[in-house]
C-alpha cells in the first residue's frame, strides 16, 4: 500500500477562448465541477493504476466533502485517515481553461489548512502497512514534515512533490528519497531558472546538494522529465498528444511513477510509464476523471507513438 498525505479540493471549471487580463471580464462556457486536489488526485492515480492506496487529509463537513470522499472511495482509496471539520469548508479550486488547454488555478485551501502533525500521528497505523509515503505542499508544512519523519522511522520510501511551491527547510528535504518538482518548483527550489533540459539538469544538481536527497526528477510537461539518480541521469522525452485539459496531469504522473517504483521497476522505465499515463490524461477532461487504468497505459505503450 502507498499512503498519500495531502489535499482535497472541489475543482470548479470554466472554459474560455483566452484568459482575462486583470480587471477584464471575458465570456466563458461549460461550467462543471469535479473532485480534485493534489493529494486526492495522486491517491486516485495510485489506486486506478493498481496500487492499494490510503489518504490522510482534511475536508469540511459539507456537500463537497461528502462528494470528494465518495469519489475516492469509489476509486478504491481508503479514506479512513481523512478528518472532517465542521467549522471550515472543504478546499475549492477555481480553474479557468483556455482554448489551448492551458489552465489558471486559484485555490481556497479551506479544511486542507487545518491538517496537523497530530492528525498524521493519529494514523500512524497506515504508515505501518505502507511501502511508501507521498506528500505535496498543499497541506501545512508541519503535516508534511510529520508524514516524512514518520515514514523515515518506519523505513518507507518517501516521495515529495513540492507543489504548489512554498519555501521549505533543507531539513525537510533531507527526509526525502525522491523530490519531484515541475519546472517552476525546480526553479524556486534551486534558484536556477528552468527553461530547457540543460537548466533542468543544473537545477536538479542544486536540489540534490541542498537536500542530500539522492534522487531528483524534474517534470517538463510535454517535454518529458529530467532524471538525476544513481541508476540513470538524463532526459526522457514525453509523448506527443493533442492536449484538451492539463489539470492533474502532474498528479497522474506522480501516481503512475510511484506505482512502478513500489513494484521495483527501475526509475527510467517507471518515468516512461508515468509520462504515458500523463499523456493519456491530458487528452481527457477533469483531474481524477482523466486518470487512465494500468491496462490502458500498458496497451497505449505498446502502440508506436511519437515522442516529443
In the complex, the residues that contact ligand RIB under the rule CB under 6 A are 9, 11, 36-38, 41, 93, 105, 107, 138, 247-248, 250-251, 287
Q: Tell me the closest approach of the beta carbon of residue 214 to ligand RIB, in angstroms.
A: 26
Q: Tell me the closest approach of the beta carbon of residue 83 to ligand RIB, in angstroms.
A: 18
Nearer CB in complex with ligand RIB: 66/214: 66
Q: Tell me the closest approach of the beta carbon of residue 97 to ligand RIB, in angstroms.
A: 12
Nearer CB in complex with ligand RIB: 2/34: 34
Q: Tell me the closest approach of the beta carbon of residue 253 to ligand RIB, in angstroms.
A: 10
Catalytic-labelled residue, pool 119, 228, 245, 251? 251
Write the DSSP symbol of residue 258. Answer: H
User: Per the structure block, which three cell numbers stand in for 116?
Assistant: 496537523
Question: Three-state SS for 2?
Answer: strand
Nearer CB in complex with ligand RIB: 36/201: 36
253 Cβ contact partners less than 8 Å away, ≥ 6 residues apart: 219, 225, 274, 275, 277, 278
Residue whose C-alpha cell is 490510503:
54
Nearer CB in complex with ligand RIB: 201/217: 217
Q: Tell me the closest approach of the beta carbon of residue 36 to ligand RIB, in angstroms.
A: 2
Measuring CA to CA, how many Å separate 185 from each of 31, 107, 136, 303? 29, 17, 12, 32
Q: Tell me the closest approach of the beta carbon of residue 11 to ligand RIB, in angstroms.
A: 5
H helical segments located in the chain: 38-48, 63-74, 117-122, 124-128, 141-153, 170-173, 183-190, 197-211, 249-262, 267-282, 294-302
Nearer CB in complex with ligand RIB: 127/253: 253
Please count the other Cβ atoms lying within 10 Å of the Cβ belonging to residue 299.
Answer: 12
Nearer CB in complex with ligand RIB: 183/251: 251
Distance of alpha carbon 83 from the chain centroid: 20
Measuring CA to CA, how many Å separate 270 from each of 79, 225, 297? 26, 11, 12
User: Per the structure block, which three cell numbers stand in for 217?
Assistant: 526528477
| Whether 228 is catalytic | no
199 Cβ contact partners less than 8 Å away, ≥ 6 residues apart: 192, 193
Catalytic residues: 251
Amino acid at each position: 500500500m502507498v499512503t498519500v498525505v495531502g489535499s482535497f479540493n472541489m475543482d470548479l471549471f470554466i472554459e474560455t477562448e483566452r484568459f482575462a487580463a486583470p480587471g477584464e471580464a471575458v465570456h466563458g462556457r461549460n461550467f462543471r465541477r469535479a473532485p480534485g486536489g493534489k493529494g486526492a488526485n495522486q491517491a486516485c492515480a495510485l489506486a486506478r493504476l493498481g496500487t492499494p492506496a490510503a489518504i490522510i487529509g482534511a475536508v469540511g463537513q459539507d456537500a463537497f466533502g461528502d462528494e470528494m470522499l465518495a469519489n475516492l472511495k469509489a476509486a478504491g482509496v481508503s479514506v479512513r485517515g481523512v478528518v472532517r471539520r465542521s467549522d471550515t469548508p472543504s478546499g475549492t479550486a477555481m480553474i479557468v481553461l483556455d482554448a489551448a488547454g492551458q489552465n489558471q488555478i486559484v485555490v481556497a485551501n479551506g479544511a486542507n489548512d487545518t491538517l496537523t502533525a497530530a492528525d498524521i500521528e493519529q494514523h500512524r497505523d497506515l504508515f505501518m502497512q505502507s511501502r511508501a509515503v507521498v506528500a505535496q505542499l498543499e497541506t501545512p508544512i508541519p503535516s508534511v514534515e510529520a508524514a516524512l519523519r514518520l515514514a523515515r522511522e518506519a523505513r518507507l520510501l518517501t516521495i515529495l512533490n513540492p507543489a504548489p511551491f512554498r519555501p521549505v527547510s533543507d531539513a525537510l528535504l533531507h527526509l526525502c528519497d525522491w523530490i519531484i518538482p515541475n519546472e517552476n518548483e525546480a526553479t524556486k527550489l534551486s534558484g536556477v531558472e528552468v527553461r530547457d533540459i540543460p537548466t533542468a539538469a543544473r537545477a536538479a544538481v542544486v536540489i540534490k546538494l541542498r537536500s542530500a536527497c539522492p534522487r531528483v526528477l524534474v517534470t517538463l510537461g510535454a517535454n518529458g522529465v529530467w532524471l538525476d539518480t544513481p541508476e540513470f541521469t538524463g532526459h526522457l522525452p514525453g509523448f506527443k498528444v493533442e492536449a484538451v485539459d492539463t489539470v492533474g496531469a502532474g498528479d497522474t504522473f506522480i501516481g503512475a511513477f510511484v506505482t512502478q517504483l513500489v513494484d521495483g521497476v527501475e526509475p527510467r522505465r517507471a518515468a516512461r510509464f508515468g509520462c504515458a499515463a500523463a499523456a493519456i490524461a491530458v487528452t481527457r477532461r477533469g483531474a481524477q476523471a482523466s486518470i487512465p487504468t494500468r491496462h490502458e497505459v500498458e496497451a497505449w505503450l505498446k502502440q508506436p507513438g511519437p515522442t516529443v
